Amino acid sequence: MSVSCSDCFSDLLCGEDSNIIFSNGGEDLPECSSDLDISMPDVEESIAGLIENESDFMVPCSDYMEKFHSAQSIDASTRADSVAWILKVKRYYGFQPLTAYLSVNYFDRFLYSHQLPKMNGWPVQLLSVACLSLAAKVEEPLVPSLLDLQVEGAKFIFEPRNIQRMELLVLRVLDWRLQSISPFSFLSFFAQKIDPTGTYKGFLTSRATEIILSNIQETSFLEYRPSCIAAATILCAANDLPHFSLVTAQHAESWCDGLHKDKIISCHRLMLQTEFNNRPRKQPKVLPQLRVMTRASITWSDSSSSSSSSSSSPYKRRKLNNRLWVDNDK
pLDDT exceeds cutoff 60 at 292: no
Q: Is the pLDDT of residue 278 over 80?
A: no
* 184: pLDDT strictly greater than 80: yes
87: burial class by Cβ within 10 Å (0-12, 13-18, 19+)? buried
**Helices marked H in 140-183:** 160-173
- Above pLDDT 70, what percent of the chain? 70
pLDDT digits (tens, 9 = 90+) for 114-172: 888 776 789 999 999 999 999 999 999 999 999 999 998 888 899 999 999 999 999 99
Residue 134 or 111, more confident: 134
What is the DSSP code (8-state) at residue 245?
Answer: T
- Res 269 pLDDT > 70: yes
> What are the structural domains, with CATH classification, of the chain?
70-173 (1.10.472.10), 184-278 (1.10.472)
Residue type (1 letter), 9: F
Q: What pLDDT sits at residue 282?
A: 61
Q: What is residue 317's predicted lDDT score, i.e. its pLDDT?
A: 45
- Rounded distance between C-alpha atoms, residue 316 and residue 322, angstroms: 10
Look at residue 256 in the predicted model and tell me its pLDDT.
85
CA distance 208 to 224: 16
Q: Are 130 and 163 in contact (CB under 8 A)?
A: yes
Express each pLDDT in 232-242 by its tens digit: 999 999 988 88
CB atoms within 10 A of CB 221: 19
pLDDT of residue 67: 73
Contact 259, 51 (CB under 8 A): yes
Number of Cβ atoms within 10 Å of the Cβ of 169? 16
Mean pLDDT of the 274-285 span: 69
If one counts every other C-beta atom within 10 angstroms of the C-beta of residue 233, the result is 28
Q: What is the pLDDT of residues 54-88, one digit of tens each?
A: 888 888 777 787 777 665 667 778 889 999 999 99
Q: How confident is the model at residue 288 (pLDDT cuts 50, 70, 90)?
A: low
Q: By percentage, how much of the chain surpasses pLDDT 90?
A: 43
Cβ atoms of 106 and 136 closer than 8 Å: no
DSSP state at residue 226: H
Q: What is the DSSP string of 80-101?
A: HHHHHHHHHHHHHHT--HHHHH
As a residue count, the chain comes to: 330
Is residue 202 very low, low, confident or very high in pLDDT (cuts 50, 70, 90)? very high
Which residues, at least 6 apart from 53, have a Cβ–Cβ distance to it below 8 Å?
181
Angle (CA) 102 63 186, round 5°: 35
**pLDDT grade, residue 257 (50/70/90)?**
confident
Work out the mean pLDDT of the chain and round it to a whole number: 77
SS3 content of the chain, % helix, strand, coil (to 5): 65, 0, 35
User: What is the per-residue pLDDT for 46?
Assistant: 86
Residue 284 binned pLDDT confidence (cut-offs 50, 70, 90):
low
Q: How many CB atoms lie within 10 A of CB 134?
A: 21
